[in-house]
Structure 1
Amino acid sequence: MKKIYYAFFFLITILSACKKDNGHAENNTEIPIEIIQKLKAAGFDTTEGLHIHGDGYIVEGDILLTKTDIDGLSENPKSKVILGLNVKDRLLQSKDPIGHYVSNLLTANSGVKNISIYINPSFQQYIIDGLDLAIARYNALEFGLTFSRSMSSSSADITISTTFIDPNNKPSNVTAYLMASGLPSNGNPYNQILVNTYYYNTSSFYSDIASTFAHEIGHAIGFRHTDYMNRAFSCGQVTQGNNEGGNANHVRGTSPDPVSGSWMLACANGVDRPFIDEDILALNGTYPRLRNVYVKQVSTLISDDSYLIGCCDDRTLLSNNFKLEFYQDQNLTVPYTTSNNFVVKVFEYSGSSQLTRVFLVPNGATSYDLGTFVTDITYSYGTEVQNNTSGYSIAPFGGYHLAP
């Protein structure tokens, strides 16, 4: 049996991913060409993991899209595959390094938005327990979304439903998966997660069920796979459909290199995966929760080595230490001690380029050292001719107040 771990541990790919004769949507004449064209225009890869599912389609193995969803997709260029960046490139890189990614489609959250989830009580208890653990893990992060269990499917934002697909006895145009979900629409999360009871049943127990639920909830609120354009990182196999396409936006501040253990990796190894720091940054950076914390930036001059060059040129060369201080009150008299995954957003400078990224501040801190900010600009006759400025400074963010 080829690559059996795909069947049990692959969160996004079809069971028969290594069988090229029936894994390519390009050869599936039952999928209308206009559907394939629209998916391609939106940046999705259609060579693998695209199959008919009910009145919709499964894209990239575990993302459900109806025809209406597909009609609403917007074109987005494919991004370049980058396996590693040096320090300079990390500062200058402005488009889609490998890291955390969100869809163009996100869940609206004004203040803190609660998402209710209904699961039929007929599910096995270990499956229900897995969902509850996934919900608890999300809520422990204290970001801009919260999750709760609903006792009624009619009032739930997301419903957990069953399906049964035997990977050994299925049509070639049907995907065999562990679970599947979709992407948000109209500011709402995708409304269902399908659980394949061929795998999750009375005789089967999987230790990573909580992280599998968390993964599909991640799709429902807009997250793409961490290594969506290079699945070889987590899947260990380069295939024709290795790049899952575009329509994904990098969460600035998450690592520019692949990170092991993320809850949104394309493939899993069967081991439970609680959220890692990169995941916490991605969730807080995408859905911040406003806290009554005031952040003050303090600048301390280290050196001023500015000088004139001849009669008409000059160079501004200043070094400052930038530190952030946290307070509970607007008058900045009561220090705030960070807790529960406090995140700050900063501007990152490299020359005249300015990017934004987020930092996870350690619990228990009342201040955070951003390090040295160097202003290094050369002027000729009053006109800037060279800029080698580097460092970080505080940026506005939905998770805190800027000190007056």
Structure 2
Amino acid sequence: MQNKFRLSALALALLIAGASCKKAATVAEEPNAVTQEVVDGIKAMGFTTTGIQATDGGYIVEGDIFISRNDLGRNMQGAILRVGQSEQYRTTNLVTGLPRVITISVDSRLASSYVAATDEAIARFNAENLQLTFQRVSSGANIAITQAPRNAQYLASAGFPTAQGNPHNQVLVNTRAIGSQPQSTVATILAHEIGHCIGFRHTDYMDRSYSCGGSTANEGASTVGAILIPGTPAGPDPNSWMLACIGSGQNRPFNANDKTALSYLY
């Protein structure tokens, strides 16, 4: 059975603070601790509360989606139109100001193999002749690909476009988890996260078990929106680049349905 890289957080460890002999210790709550208030806020946004992971500036939900702390409790209007179980979906916010060049940088701390994989991911998008084109730059990019925190329990993560029509500005990669995967696999992972940055949700967001295995897990519509992209299939799509999980060594270039979705949006 093929091992799966999950674009999902691992089970969170519970840290139990012990009392010191004859002296009670007071532990300050971490700014991004996963408190009940945080869980309630994420649930109110419509995301699953299973496997929430605290990270710099916010939380990782549904495996690879970044939610900033400032977004919790914010009254955001979303939309959902569901047909079938596995189709391409987009968020309410998309990148605007088309035609537009989106610049991408790769942190110098990352190995040169990530530069090559980024160039491959960029080439995949640019081959589709969209109104969004992508270009790698050394600094000042719209999307910065950088190292995830050392304690990260996800493969990679990204967020969704802003209300102002800009792409999410960061992709975090867990180099320890990705390991020595071939360039095509890393390019697929990066293209997937860039897909989130420009407004794509998981193709199988309504049932993550389709690509991740295990029990049925609906990610929820959420306040960011889960809007069916016209022209994409009403049935399962086993090769989409936006499936939630990917097998070790697997390559997922855009399939025909992905290309339809990209063309429709951009």
For residue 193 of structure 1, report the CA deviation from its aligned partner: 0.7
Give, in whole Å, the separation in 2 of the partners of 1:164 and 1:197. 10
Q: Is the 8 A contact 1:135 1:147 kept in 2?
A: yes
Q: Is the 8 A contact 2:121 2:188 kept in 1?
A: yes
User: Which one has more relative contact order, counting CA pairs under 8 Å at least 6 apart?
Assistant: 2
* C-alpha distance after superposition, 1:110-166 (max 9, x if no partner): 3311110111244222221111000000000011211101121xx21011111243x
Q: Give SS of 2:166's match.
A: coil
Indicate the residue corresponding to 2:218 in structure 1: 243
Give, in whole Å, the separation in 2 of the partners of 1:148 and 1:266. 25
Indicate the residue corresponding to 1:284 in structure 2: 263
Give, in whole Å, the separation in 1 of the partners of 2:73 and 2:165. 16
Specify the code of the residue in structure 2 equivalent to 1:274. Answer: P
Give, in whole Å, the separation in 1 of the partners of 2:51 and 2:34. 13
Indicate the residue corresponding to 1:101 in structure 2: 89
Indicate the residue corresponding to 1:382 in structure 2: none
Matched, 1:139 2:118: no
Indicate the residue corresponding to 1:205 in structure 2: 181
Which of 3, 9, 16 is the aligned partner of 1:5?
A: 3
TM-score (structure 2 length as normaliser) = 0.82
Q: Is the 8 A contact 2:101 2:134 kept in 1?
A: yes
For residue 205 of structure 1, report the CA deviation from its aligned partner: 3.2
Indicate the residue corresponding to 2:167 in structure 1: 189
TM-score (structure 1 length as normaliser) = 0.55
For residue 194 of structure 1, report the CA deviation from its aligned partner: 0.8
Q: Which of 1 and 2 has greater Rg?
A: 1
Indicate the residue corresponding to 2:210 in structure 1: 233
Whose strand proportion is higher, 1 or 2? 1
Give, in whole Å, the separation in 1 of the partners of 2:254 and 2:91. 19
Q: Is the 8 A contact 1:251 1:282 kept in 2?
A: yes
Unmatched runs of 5 consecutive residues or more in structure 2 = 15-31
Indicate the residue corresponding to 1:53 in structure 2: 55
Specify the code of the residue in structure 2 equivalent to 1:192. Answer: Q
Indicate the residue corresponding to 1:74 in structure 2: 76
Indicate the residue corresponding to 2:23 in structure 1: none
Q: Is the 8 A contact 1:127 1:200 kept in 2?
A: no
Give, in whole Å, the separation in 2 of the partners of 1:107 and 1:71. 24
Specify the code of the residue in structure 1 equivalent to 2:48. Answer: D
Q: Is the 8 A contact 2:109 2:147 kept in 1?
A: no
Runs of 4+ in 1 over 6 A off after TM superposition: none
Specify the code of the residue in structure 2 equivalent to 1:5. Answer: N
Indicate the residue corresponding to 2:66 in structure 1: 64
Q: Is the 8 A contact 1:218 1:264 kept in 2?
A: yes
Q: Is the 8 A contact 1:208 1:272 kept in 2?
A: yes
For residue 76 of structure 1, report the CA deviation from its aligned partner: 4.7
Which of 238, 255, 267 is the aligned partner of 2:233?
A: 255
Q: Is the 8 A contact 2:155 2:173 kept in 1?
A: yes
Whose helix proportion is higher, 1 or 2? 2
Q: Is the 8 A contact 1:164 1:197 kept in 2?
A: no
* C-alpha distance after superposition, 1:278-322 (max 9, x if no partner): 0011111112xxxxxxxxxxxxxxxxxxxxxxxxxxxxxxxxxxx
Q: Is the 8 A contact 1:253 1:281 kept in 2?
A: yes
Q: What value does the CA root-mean-square deviation take over the aligned residues?
A: 2.4
Q: Give SS of 1:208's match.
A: helix
Judged with a 3 Å threshold, the aligned counterparts in structure 2 of structure 1 residues 105 and 96 are, in CA distance, closer, same or farther, namely farther
Indicate the residue corresponding to 2:26 in structure 1: none
Which of 31, 40, 43 is the aligned partner of 2:43?
A: 40
Judged with a 3 Å threshold, the aligned counterparts in structure 2 of structure 1 residues 191 and 71 are, in CA distance, closer, same or farther, namely farther
Q: Is the 8 A contact 2:47 2:219 kept in 1?
A: yes
Q: Is the 8 A contact 2:8 2:155 kept in 1?
A: no
